């Protein structure tokens, strides 16, 4: 195992350690520098901050998808509070006339407590989003929740046409899941997948996963179903030109109106700008809230050299403050 893989595994463990998280939250000397590092990847801690970040990204020609960070809620009151916050997000997008959708984890609005609670809350949000003319994207979670999330998505699609779903290319099952989801309305977001999973259900990072993503992407693009290609892989999305995806779109003469490219805030922004400049619709995933500890650790775990940038970002706060 390389040092980069060891660092990534440690960061994933830190991300899930509630004691470390609580310690960081209680100590401003740690909290403020780490928050400063996290701001590279998030829209802020509050909805007001996120709206301003979204407006700035819109002015640069990028659509956004706003997510109020949180998952694995185990208290029904907190799940209801999260649902109400998402309703505020929908209202803010509509009233501020932002080019934005909303994204959410079903476990943030009740999936772990009771799947029916998550479904009912998702219906409330989907209806509000539909009334505002917005898309609602359901994110994917750990492999133990995949089937349940897809079942709830199927139920939602019987009533709503504005509910999208995320599929993870690293799961062996995804080729079959894609064929099923192609029969439903709503955008399909294709990601590689970042959750820890055993090899019997998922492919490890590497050439096999890269090839799997390419095959799934080809199937999705040529289906002409509304889709979001959400990857930072330079082999797939090299700026000049857009390599595999770009060539496929051009060769097949696919309508660009049903295709968008999506990336995380603060990651490979130059590639997204290159796609925008090529005439593609582009979107930035823009989470906000106080649950940034987990999100920051995951971003650093995905690409450990980002730690260097995080150190610089955290240090700059001290230089400015001193």
Residues 270, 305, single domain; the answer is: no
Residues 242, 227, single domain; the answer is: yes
| Percentage of the residues of the chain whose pLDDT score is greater than 70 | 79
Residues 33, 115, single domain; the answer is: no
Residues 58, 113, single domain; the answer is: yes
Task: Compute the distance between CA of residue 316 and CA of residue 211 in angstroms, rounded to an integer.
Answer: 40
Residues 249, 273, single domain; the answer is: yes
Element (H, E) at 189: strand 188-191
Quick check: 40 and 292 in contact, CB under 8 A? no
The number of folded domains in the chain is 2
Residues 26, 52, single domain; the answer is: no
Q: Which domain holds residue 104?
A: 43-288
Residues 100, 228, single domain; the answer is: yes
Residues 77, 142, single domain; the answer is: yes
Q: What is the pLDDT of residues 203-262, one digit of tens each?
A: 887 788 888 999 999 999 999 999 999 987 666 555 433 567 777 888 888 877 789 999
* Contacts of 310 by beta carbon, 8 Å cutoff, 6+ apart: 37, 40, 296, 300
Q: What is the CATH number of the domain that holds 48?
A: 3.20.20.220
Residues 149, 216, single domain; the answer is: yes
Residues 176, 303, single domain; the answer is: no
Instruction: Please give the model's pTM, rounded to 2 decimal places.
Output: 0.88
Question: Is 262 strand, coil or helix?
Answer: strand
Quick check: 113 and 74 in contact, CB under 8 A? yes
Confidence of residue 33 (pLDDT cuts 50, 70, 90): confident
């Amino acid at each position: 195992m390389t040092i980069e893989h060891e660092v990534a595994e440690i960061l994933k463990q830190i991300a899930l350690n509630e004691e470390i998280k609580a310690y960081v939250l209680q100590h401003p000397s740690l909290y403020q520098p780490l928050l400063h590092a996290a701001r590279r990847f998030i829209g802020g801690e509050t909805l007001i901050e996120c709206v301003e970040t979204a407006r700035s990204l819109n002015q640069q020609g990028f659509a956004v998808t706003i997510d109020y960070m949180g998952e694995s809620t185990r208290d029904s009151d907190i799940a209801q509070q999260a649902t109400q916050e998402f309703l505020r997000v929908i209202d803010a997008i509509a009233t501020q006339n932002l080019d934005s959708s909303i994204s959410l984890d079903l476990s943030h609005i009740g999936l772990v407590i009771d799947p029916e609670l998550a479904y009912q809350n998702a219906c409330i949000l989907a209806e509000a989003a539909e009334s505002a003319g917005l898309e609602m994207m359901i994110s994917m979670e750990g492999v133990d929740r995949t089937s349940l999330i897809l079942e709830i998505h199927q139920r939602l699609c019987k009533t709503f046409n504005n509910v999208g779903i995320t599929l993870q290319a690293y799961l062996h099952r995804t080729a079959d899941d894609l064929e099923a989801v192609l029969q439903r309305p709503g955008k399909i977001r294709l990601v590689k997948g970042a959750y820890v999973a055993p090899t019997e259900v998922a492919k490890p990072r590497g050439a096999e996963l890269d090839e799997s993503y390419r095959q799934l992407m080809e199937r999705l693009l040529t289906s002409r179903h509304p889709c979001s290609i959400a990857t930072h892989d330079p082999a797939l999305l090299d700026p000049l030109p857009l390599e595999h995806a770009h060539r496929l779109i051009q060769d097949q003469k696919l309508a660009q109106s049903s295709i968008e490219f999506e990336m995380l805030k603060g990651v490979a922004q130059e590639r997204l700008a290159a796609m925008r400049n090529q005439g593609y619709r582009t979107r930035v995933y823009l989470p906000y809230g106080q649950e940034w500890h987990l999100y920051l650790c995951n971003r650093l775990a995905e690409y450990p050299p980002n730690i260097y940038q995080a150190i610089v970002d955290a240090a700059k706060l001290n230089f400015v403050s001193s």
